[in-house]
Amino acid sequence: MDAVIKTGGKQYRVTEGQRLDVEILGPVDTEVELVPVLLLDGDSLVTAPDALNQATVTARVVGEAKGPKVTGFTYKNKSNQRKRWGHRQHYSTVEITGIKKG
């Protein structure tokens, strides 16, 4: 069974046992419930809101990860104004432990 989940303003297609990096969800070894957007069960597709309220997707936080480094530089001409900045996003690595239709 597949599901499309929504977390951190993004949507991901997941199956049981899959690992993926999402926005920070909490400390390592915690169980979280993710919001399903739609469910795929073989040939049937569940998209009705009342049916999705009964569905659950559970995951376990198994680690933490960092994204690629993003650097930037701003500059204004003739005023000696310069600024360097960088950013590296932190992620939680989660493993999908169960998808239930309800």
pLDDT of residue 1: 87
Tokens of 85: 């900045």
Q: What is the mean pLDDT of each run of 10 residues along the chain (102 residues)?
A: 92 95 95 91 85 92 97 97 97 96 80
Phi, psi (deg, nearest 5) at residue 25? -115, -20
CA distance 36 to 11: 9
Tokens of 90: 């932190």
Which residue carries 């960088």 as its tokens? Answer: 86
Longest Cα–Cα distance of the chain, Å, equals 65
pLDDT of residue 50: 87
Distance from chain centroid for Cα 57: 13
SS3 for 55? coil
CA distance 91 to 60: 14
CB distance 89 to 8 below 8 Å: no
pLDDT of residue 74: 97
pLDDT of residue 10: 94
pTM: 0.82
